[in-house]
Amino acid sequence: MKRFALILIFCFTFLMVQSQAWKYRRYEAWGALSAFQYYGDIGAVEDLQFLKGFNQVNFLINRPGFSLGMIYRYKERWYIQGSNSFGYFVQSDKNTSRNRARNFAFSTIIDEFSIQGLYFLTKESDKHFYNSIWNRRERGFKKIFQPISIYTFAGVGGALFWVTPKESFVGSPRFVGNKHVAIAFPIGFGLKFAYSPSYSMSIEIGRRFTTTDFLDGFTSQYSKHNDVYYILNFKATYRFEKSNRIHHRF
């Protein structure tokens, strides 16, 4: 009876430790290759309301950049992230039929700093990828998708930007080149693949609503909304481990 009680106590303690293991890997650092894309007054399509603007997506005008940041795991599914994204985007009236004759074009360098809250809709895996695949106790889709988690994020930040006019926009009195600061509101979602408790990879896309209509150096009387831009990140993440993990004591 005493042995049975000891076994129960050990099992209960082990399960408690496993369920709280995430507390010993709260901090993460990540870097990412990024793709930037802009939506605003220059290069806009005819029907701005169609599909809420998603009909403006054009992968040919994506431009590269990079991002880096730190993450703190506040709760099991809640995270706080600080990030810095640097890159540039371009657009031209040549890509549309409505304003092709106007022939305005530009490029903008942008540097964004933001803080975001992340919520994982599916809990992160704390196992090695190969352990999940070869785990005979798991079956079907759960076994295959266990290393994959889905998350959403939203936040606030600041953006510094510098616009260069091109084509007929050069020398135009419509160009406004003295606006360089805006507030950005990132919102989006991502997929995270946990290769091991320490290493993971993610792909995420986020839309940035802004407080400016001058990311392209231009606004018009017909403009009803501020400019927005998207950042697509391909992230590699390292999770730091505390040296005094509980399970080392057993």
Give the pLDDT confidence of 114-165 residue by residue, as tens digits.
999 999 999 887 665 555 555 555 554 455 557 889 999 999 999 999 999 9
- Return d(Cα 31, Cα 20) in angstroms, integer: 27
User: Residue ranges of the domains in the chain?
Assistant: 2-249
**pLDDT at residue 104, as a whole number:** 93
**pLDDT at residue 127, as a whole number:** 61
Residue at token pair 């709760």: 75
**pLDDT at residue 19, as a whole number:** 46
Looking at 110-171, list the stretches that DSSP marks H as alpha helix, in order from N- to C-terminal side: 129-133, 140-145
How much is the pTM?
Answer: 0.80
**pLDDT at residue 18, as a whole number:** 44
Q: Is residue 73 over pLDDT 70? A: yes
- Return d(Cα 38, Cα 89) in angstroms, integer: 6
**pLDDT at residue 213, as a whole number:** 94
CATH class of the domain defined by 2-249: mainly beta
Least confident of 10-14, 66-70, 137-141: 10-14
Strand partners, 157: 114, 184
Give the pLDDT confidence of 97-122 residue by residue, as tens digits.
778 889 999 999 999 999 999 999 99
**Mean pLDDT throughout 172-177?**
91
**pLDDT at residue 249, as a whole number:** 44
